[in-house]
Chains A and B, each alone.
Chain A
């Protein structure tokens, strides 16, 4: 069975500071990995995804994530935080095995706060 752990339920940064949101996964097969963002009172929006091509994945709004197989990690980063980045972020792993191919397992979420 696959699983995702997001380290830190809340992360707080200053505007202009580096954003680092941590995600570790467990999967029995090479994974597809996703980061989604949820702004207040909205649904989930795809930020970026890893599908076994380049290990450094660039997404929308200046975010990127690096797939590290040896560390089973897929951490999300942004060099300079903006107030508009305040949201909840979810890491997810896709089931690529058998009849349940395509199911997502989500982490618990990390709420990012950006202060002036």
Chain B
């Protein structure tokens, strides 16, 4: 079984709809991250959480919100989706106990907003 899972893997929605992307991990890591990937822009950080009670904005948090329901679960919500939120979304985890704090990525969710 994969260590970091994301659901759904693909989603098509309409402008103005609320949508939630979910991430679960079995690695036991405290830290979790949400990124979006756009062609030619690499990955950009949306939100990150260093433990259940800690939520921080990344560089592109406008239009997004998150919820850390448990150590293993970190959800990303688009309250009112717009077409320029069409992208590939990745969840990642890391363990601060490791000196290099390597991040491990889920398979991604491809979101299309019409």
Report A's interface with B, CB cutoff 8 A.
6, 9, 32, 34, 36, 42-46, 49, 51, 90, 94, 100-109
Whether the Cβ atoms of B102 and A108 lie closer than 8 Å is no
Nearest CB in chain A: distance from B9 CB, A: 10
Residues of A within 8 A of B45 (CB): 103-105
Check A94 against B43 for contact (C-beta < 8 Å): no
For A102, list chain B residues within 8 Å (CB): 31, 50, 94, 96, 101, 103
| A101: chain B residues within 8 A (beta carbon) | 96, 101
A103-B48, A108-B42 known; A43 vs B100 contact (CB < 8 Å): no
Task: List, sorted by A's number, 16 A–B pairs whose CB atoms are closer than 8 Å.
Answer: A6-B42, A43-B106, A43-B107, A45-B105, A90-B42, A100-B56, A102-B101, A103-B33, A103-B45, A104-B43, A104-B45, A106-B42, A106-B43, A107-B42, A108-B40, A108-B41
Flag if B40 contacts A46 (CB, 8 Å).
no
Total A-B pairs in contact (CB under 8 Å)? 57
Question: When the two chains form their complex, are residues B96 and A109 in contact, meaning their CB atoms are under 8 A apart?
Answer: no
Residues of B within 8 Å of A32, CB to CB, are 100-101
CA distance A90 to B42 in the complex (A): 7
A90 to B40, CA, bound (A): 11
What mask results when residues 82 to 114 of chain B are scored 1 for a CB within 8 Å of chain A, else 0? Answer: 000000001010101001111111111000000
